[in-house]
Amino acid sequence: MTEMRSRRLMLVHAHPDDESINNGATMARYAAEGAQVTLVTCTLGERGEVIPPELRHLSGAALGGHRLGELKDAMRALGVTDFRLLGGAGRYCDSGMMGLPDNDDPGCFWQADVDQAAGLLAEVILEVRPQVLVTYDENGGYGHPDHIQAHRVAVRAVELAAGAGWDVPKVYWNRVPRSVGEEAFAKLNGELDGLPFEKAGVLDDVPGVVDDERITTVIDGTAYASAKAAAMRAHATQITVADPYFVLSNELAQPLFTTEYYELVRGERPLSRESDLFAGVGEAP
């Protein structure tokens, strides 16, 4: 059993590295403040594209095992001790990008029975009893099948857990406000000549971008910028960091956000932007 702390945050992600890119500063902040931070990762990312040439021999289960090691290092950088793989290591494998034959693999997460996978996640919810759960929107942020499936499974798991004794008070989607993204990319383009990256991406490369008015919550993680960058560097097969920027395997530079943004989708929508995911949540056991 997880220690029952007064504030409990759960994050549901598709692959190792998603958590550090989307929520690394948030995770580090709440862990440092003494909250229980629980990460559930749905696959090991066995079909991810590998950046370093010396590691490109890794694929399939070997890559998954390596990425699990990267995840452990990233969690150490963020100060998070409770991280789990949905159903255990290897229960669901990476589905690859949308439209590829990999999507048809009966063992991949995209092909998982949603109720069955949600039942496994609901067991974790009932154990941890988080007041806050963070995951992706219905498009998975950018359309990756495992991200879409993580959304579906998380939503259903919250429903199942509510019926079995724990109603998660607040659920958030990961977001980036459009104005913030536009400003960050304008700055990136102005600094590109001094970076080890040849090309900059565009705002459409960033998952979860929405109009500013949809943002309900802003988490200032600037004090944990170095922890987030270290966690992202730990995912070396997938990410190259030149703080405050990074690239994925497409080699297109994008900003590393240390203030992280959310949209509350379960719970009472605040009249003004929150600065705390636990705003309005009591400390019930």
Phi, psi of 190 (to 5 degrees): -75, -20
Does 147 count as an annotated binding residue?
Answer: yes
d(CA 67, CA 86): 15
Q: What is the DSSP letter of 93?
A: B
Q: Cα(first)–Cα(last) distance of the chain, in Å?
A: 14
Strand intervals (E) in 2-156: 8-13, 36-41, 82-85, 132-135
Cα separation, 26 vs 44, whole angstroms: 22
Structure tokens at 33: 């403040």
**193 is known to lie in a ligand binding site:** no
CB-CB contact of 157 with 135 (8 Å): no
Give the burial string for 17-56 (b: 16+ CB within 10 Å, else e): bbbbbbbbbbbbbbbeeebbbbbbbbbbbbbbebbeeeee
The reply to whether 18 sits in an annotated binding site is yes
Provide the phi-psi class of 165: left if phi over 0, else alpha when psi is between -120 and 50, else beta: left
Q: Which residue ranges are tagged as binding site for Zn(2+)? A: 15, 18, 147
Q: Which residue ranges are tagged as binding site? A: 15, 18, 147
